[in-house]
Amino acid sequence: MKILVLGSDGLVGKNLQDLVNSDTENEWIFATRLDGDLTVLKKVENLFEKVKPTHVINLAAYVGGLYKNMSRGVEFFEKNILININVMKASLSVKKLISLMSTCIFPDKIDYPITEEKLHLGPPHPSNEGYAYSKRMIDVLSRAYNKEYGTKYITVIPGNLYGPYDNFNLEDAHVIPSLIHKMKNAKLSGEPLIIFGSGNALRQFTHASDLAKYLVWTLNNYEDTEPLIVSSEDEYSIFDLVQILKQEFEYDGEISWDNTRSDGQIKKTISCEKLKKIHPDPHFRDLRDGLKETIIWFLNSENNYRK
């Protein structure tokens, strides 16, 4: 196989590179935005013509944390729609295209746990409406291509991702990298750690290396064209997450919760029953172990992490 990975300089792409760097049976091409602007169809077509991939994994997305999503919905919708439309257009000749969606695509008001078939049963949470609808359309468009052109466009839905190579920007990072960065700064400065929200929101966290492992498995084994949830099912409140981080950082400073800031969607519990039925032994890294590794990587990568 000649596998083109798009968006390979992000969290999942870097973990995927670490995973397959010893693969001698397949040819992996890891493309970044420097190889072509995926929002421009001609540049995407030029990249595909140059590489001539047999398989594609599309990790590219315009992403950000909760508050960036709340304030820039149009930008999130437009950029992600363009990326995914252009990649699908260019992938007509490949044997398999795997695209990532997100748990935020699921309906806000829904019976739990959430399974793949509940994807379109209602609108997503309004806090990230632009991004959520743009990612939900990956499923709609993939099904349309598969029906009309006989393609094999597959969609994977990961849980809340974290790990080495994440975006640790204090303004628009997701919750785990943001909290890690904030706690480090608070410990060094001695100033109180202020955390947005009440701490009551519940999340299921998946280490990016685990997702990378299941993407390779999907590439080789998953032939269904219906979406597949890939996530740890262990659920933690943001308050619980902060307690684990406190212990790992040995942080004993003051913590205050800013209840004027949104929690986002309070709960979005997903089920991996489908994965369990088709995979011999699904396993996901324990959150504490994954956080320990991520913190060590962050502290040793001050000049290399995204911020």
Q: What is the pLDDT of residues 200-251, one digit of tens each?
A: 999 999 999 999 999 999 999 999 999 999 999 999 999 999 999 999 999 9
**Distance between CA atoms of residues 288 and 245, nearest Å:** 8
Query: Is 123 inside any structural domain?
Result: yes
Calculate mean pLDDT across residues 131-150: 95
pLDDT-based confidence at residue 69 (cuts at 50, 70, 90) = low
Please count the CA atoms within 13 angstroms of the CA of 304 that sit on its side-chain side: 11
Which residues have a Cβ under 8 Å from the Cβ of 254 and sit 6 or more positions away?
A: 192, 193
pLDDT at 104 over 90: no
pLDDT at 72: 67
Backbone dihedral angles phi then psi of residue 147, each to the nearest 5 degrees: -70, -45
Domain containing 114 equals 2-163+206-231
Given a cut of 80, whether residue 302 has pLDDT beyond it is: no
Round the average pLDDT of the chain to a whole number and report it. 91
Listed in sequence order, the residues at least 6 apart from 281 whose beta carbon sits closer than 8 Å to its beta carbon are: none
Contacts of 138 (CB under 8 A, 6+ apart): 84, 99, 101, 155
CA–CA dist 265, 245 (Å, integer): 22
Confidence of residue 64 (pLDDT cuts 50, 70, 90): low
Residue 243 lies inside a defined structural domain of this protein? no
Does residue 199 fall inside a structural domain?
no
Q: Is residue 66 part of a domain?
A: yes
Sign of torsion, CA 104 110 116 122?
A: negative
Checking DSSP bridges between strand 160-162 and strand 205-207, what pairing results, if any?
A: parallel
The neighbour count for residue 305, using CB atoms within 10 Å, is 19
Cα separation of 239 and 197, whole Å?
A: 10
Query: Which CATH number do you get for residue 73?
Result: 3.40.50.720
131 is catalytic: yes
- Is 268 within the bounds of a domain? no
CB 64 within 8 A of CB 11: no
Side by side, the strands of the sheet bearing 153-158 are 27-31, 2-6, 55-58, 96-100, 153-158, 228-230
With bands split at pLDDT 50, 70 and 90, how would you rate the model's confidence at 61?
confident
What is the structure's pLDDT at 151?
97
- Structural contact between residues 229 and 166, judged by C-beta atoms closer than 8 angstroms: no
User: What's the domain count of the chain?
Assistant: 1
pLDDT digits 0-9 by tens, 75-89 = 889 999 999 999 999
Q: How confident is the model at residue 46 (pLDDT cuts 50, 70, 90)?
A: very high
pLDDT band at 306 (very low <50, low <70, confident <90, very high): low
Question: Which is more confident, 265 or 184?
Answer: 184
The residue annotated as part of the active site, out of 131, 214, 236, 305, is 131
- Domain annotation covers residue 171: no
- Residue 36 domain flag: yes
Indicate whether 258 belongs to any domain: no
Q: Note the pLDDT of residue 125.
A: 85
Does 22 have pLDDT greater than 70? yes
Range 14-19 average pLDDT:
96
